[in-house]
Amino acid sequence: MKYEVFARIRAGDELIHVGNVDAPDDRLVKTYARTTFDEEDWDRMVAVPRDELIEVTGAQMAESPMVGEQ
Amino acid sequence: MSKSSKSEIDEMGFGPFDIGPDGTETDLERAVWANLDEIPDPHIPLSLVEMAMIYDVTVEDSVANIDLSFPCMGCPAYEFIHDDIRGCLRTMSCIDDVEINVVWDPVWSKDMLDAEAREKLQESGIAL
Amino acid sequence: MTDDWNDDAIEYVQAIADTKLILSHRYSEWMLSGPALEDDIAGASAAQDEIGHVRQLFEKLSDSGRDPEWLQGDRDPEEFSNAACLDDTSDTWTEFVTVAGVTERAAWYLIDSIAHEDFDGLGQRIGQDEYFHLEHLDARLSHQAEENPEAVEEAFAAAAAAALALIGPATFDADTDPLVQSGFTDRSAADVREGFKRHYETLFEETDVDPSAVDWDAPDEASWNETRRRIGDGHVDPDVVDALGGVKNAEYARA
């Protein structure tokens, strides 16, 4: 399962996206994310399953009425 | 660049931690602190003193006793750092021998670094 | 500082240190064979941490009279007091994760139990490393328990028996455990065993692994070797002792 990883260096900073990691489950992703992104001594790091992300952007165009309904 | 060259040795301090010089040092002990402050950490552009790895220094009968700690217990430079300290202090005319005690109480913490040390690390692109 | 350790205390710390020493060797054998690169990185990091712990424990043992060269590996295989489940290299990843998990946990519980001032700070610092090791190993173990419960159950029964022997017999309670009596530890083998058992019952709760396959009463105090903290006279292979002592590297350096 793909997870998106967010982290911050200092308490109070915004969490920023640092990358993604593939892990078998929610428990192992903790070790996998820590070992993959170990270049900083993070204040906080979280991982979010990619499937749980809410799509905000998308087709930016008003819906057309379907052909045949006219 | 080192801590002692920028400020008086009396001002060396490590915040709330009971480590570092406390103002009761003899002149010789101050000289030992100043020399230790010239030894670079092998991984990071700070001295061992700036890295707050030297907890205490005493000199008795020309023997320097150094309390040394490490950020990481499995430090691969463990022996190098021991050798650097011995090599550095044995060049001092009033020091005949060096005893190094590795100590873990208090446990080393990045909170022991002062503002100047943190700034140097940030300038080097190292986040702690 | 350590001149007040009695023989029981020295043998107790020796068993912890030897277990960590052989464990670091087993980590190094598996650190290119985990199912994911991240497991290998975690294993390599753990191997280095374990060697760091061993270095400090050997310092303490040396201060209390043990010969540094003997400690470093100038001794026979049967003089190592490692947990018996580390005697042989694991055949499978599942077995390795199980063995590493239970021995790391048992060794950590034994260190955490030491009340002697020589372990002030030292125990805390080891505990900081163990948090990450045990988090990875428990995550791996519970994942393997989902994937292959039969293999985990079999490996766990064998490894837990060795870990329980390392911890000490169930008859060592607060009134009889000699280390508690001398003040070196603050909790008995019986208490540590209970915490160990409870941990794995919780870990395997949602899986098909049955912790009751373990003989939770073993070892019998009468057959327990108090020096090597195990049952029987098994030991690591002499090749492992050579590897730990860097015998082949030394020959190469002289050439």
Say which DSSP state A55 is in: P
Give ipTM to 2 decimals: 0.89
CB B112 within 8 A of CB B52: yes
Q: Which of C27, C38, C136 best probes binding to A when mutated, by most A CB atoms within 10 angstroms?
A: C38
Note the pLDDT tens digit of each residue in C233-243.
Answer: 999 999 999 99
Distance from the Cα of residue C18 to its chain's centroid: 8
Contacts of B110 in chain A (CB under 8 A): 41
The neighbouring-strand residues paired with B101 are B67
- Dihedral, C2, B106, B13, C59 alpha carbons, nearest 10: 40
Give the CA count within 13 Å in the CB-facing half-sphere of C233: 2
The answer to whether C128 faces chain A, any CB pair under 8 Å, is no
Cα distance between residue C27 and residue C103, in whole Å: 12
The span from the CA of C203 to the CA of C194, in Å, is: 14
Q: Would you state the structure tokens that stand for residue C172, as one six-digit string?
A: 């060592």
- Which chain B residues contact residue C49 at CB under 8 A? 73-74
Amino acid in the structure at residue C113: S
Question: What is the enclosing helix (H) or strand (E) of C177?
Answer: none
Residue B101 is encoded by which pair of tokens?
A: 């005690």
Summarize pLDDT for A26-69 with one digit per residue, the tens: 999 999 999 999 888 899 999 999 999 998 887 777 888 877 65
CA distances to A55, C45, C62, C253 from C102, rounded to whole Å, are 43, 18, 27, 37
Q: How far apart are CA A31 and CA A29, in angstroms?
A: 6
A38: closest chain B residue by CA: B127
Write out chain B's pLDDT in tens, 128 residues. 344 444 444 455 556 788 989 889 999 999 999 999 999 999 889 999 999 999 999 999 999 999 999 999 999 999 999 999 999 999 999 999 999 999 999 999 988 999 999 899 888 887 76
In a domain, C174, yes or no: yes
Closest residue in C to B77 (Cα) is: C52
Number of domains within chain C: 1
Residues of chain C with C-beta less than 8 angstroms from the C-beta of B112: none
Residue C150 lies in a domain: yes
Q: How many beta carbons lie within 10 A of that of residue C28, not counting itself?
A: 17
3-state DSSP call for residue A46? Answer: strand
How far is residue C34 CA from its own chain's centroid?
Answer: 20
Q: For residue C208, what is the domain's CATH number?
A: 1.20.1260.10
Q: Is A21's Cβ below 8 Å from some Cβ in C?
A: yes
Decide: C23 and C104 in contact? Cβ < 8 Å: yes
Cis amide leading into B106 (omega within 30): yes
Give me the domain span that covers residue C18.
Answer: 7-254
CA distance A40 to chain B (A): 6
Please report, for chain B, the start and end positions of each structural domain, with discontinuous segments joined by +. 20-105
Q: Rounded to a whole number, what is the distance in Å from the CA of C121 to chain B's nearest CA?
A: 4
Q: Answer yes or no: do B110 and A41 touch at CB < 8 A.
A: yes
| CATH hierarchy code of domain B20-105 | 3.30.300.130
Query: What is the model's pLDDT at position A39?
Result: 81
Contact B74 C122 (CB under 8 A): no
Mean pLDDT to the nearest integer, C103-114: 98
Torsion of the alpha carbons at B29, B35, B37 and B39, rounded to the nearest 10: -140
